[in-house]
């Protein structure tokens, strides 16, 4: 009974991480500040974003995004262990930790941009911050793909084909899309990964499917 309750809490962490992440992102982007900048932004767009002080709304969104990282880490490590653990589970947990670490760096850079906005930051410095944030953010896409590729075999071996094959599909889309069109396909892969987290969270609290065994031939 305690195990089932624990599973529900970790599954809830997965769903909550997605909800909190999206709410925090939309709150920050609604202010049209430094949060919306990318390394392809023009000098004029960067200068305009850094010319205004960050509002309280921006810090609320930043707080929520950081909280979502903790929720995601709890879900990711639990999901890897719930699907079978072992060597692949350890690899998945390691990539999840790395993903959260790099995501925290990206968020810290975003918060640095917001803090320096309105303080007459040189344009060259502002562009360096924006570029570093973009590079670290794209790195998290690869770490997400590595996590999915690690848990996919575990899910398939456990008889959870939808979780396994969807993980492979999202990982493949992420790796191919990031190489082909990082500004569009790469961003889409992030949303697909969030959908995967929600679906997997719900699926893993249900009863595990029974794996049929073929009778041995004499």
pLDDT tens digits, one per residue of 20-73: 999 998 887 776 678 778 878 888 889 988 988 888 888 999 999 999 999 999
- Integer angstrom CA distances of residue 49 from 8, 22, 105, 167: 42, 22, 21, 37
> Per-domain residue ranges for the chain?
2-204
Q: Is the dihedral of CA 147, 148, 153, 158 positive or negative?
A: positive
DSSP state of 84: T
Interatomic CA distance for residues 170 and 27, integer angstroms: 26
Tens-digit pLDDT profile for residues 157-174? 999 999 999 999 999 999
**pTM for this one?**
0.88
Q: Is the dihedral of CA 16, 74, 65, 40 positive or negative?
A: negative
Asked whether 132 and 68 are in contact (CB, 8 A), the reply is no
Instruction: Tell me how long the chain is.
Output: 218
Query: By 3-state DSSP, what share of the chain in percent is helix, strand and coil, each rounded to 5?
Result: 80, 0, 20
């Amino acid at each position: 009974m305690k195990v089932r309750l624990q599973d529900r809490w970790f599954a809830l962490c997965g769903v909550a991480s997605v909800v909190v992440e999206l709410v925090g992102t939309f709150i920050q982007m609604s202010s049209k500040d430094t949060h919306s900048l990318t390394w392809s932004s023009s000098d004029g767009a960067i200068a305009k974003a850094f010319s205004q002080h960050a509002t309280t709304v921006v810090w609320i969104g930043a707080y929520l995004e950081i909280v979502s990282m903790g929720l995601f880490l709890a879900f990711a490590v639990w999901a890897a262990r719930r699907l079978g653990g072992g060597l692949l589970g350890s690899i998945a947990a390691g990539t999840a930790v790395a993903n959260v670490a790099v995501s925290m760096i990206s968020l810290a850079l975003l918060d640095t941009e917001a803090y320096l906005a309105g303080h007459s930051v040189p344009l060259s410095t502002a562009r360096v911050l924006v570029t570093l944030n973009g590079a670290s953010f794209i790195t998290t896409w690869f770490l997400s793909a590595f996590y999915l590729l690690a848990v996919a075999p575990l899910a398939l071996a456990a008889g959870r084909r939808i979780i396994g094959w969807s993980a492979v599909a999202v990982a493949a889309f992420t790796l191919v899309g990031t190489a082909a069109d990082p500004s569009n396909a790469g961003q889409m892969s992030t949303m697909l990964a969030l959908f995967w987290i929600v679906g997997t969270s719900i699926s893993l609290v249900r009863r595990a499917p029974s794996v049929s065994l073929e009778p041995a031939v004499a």
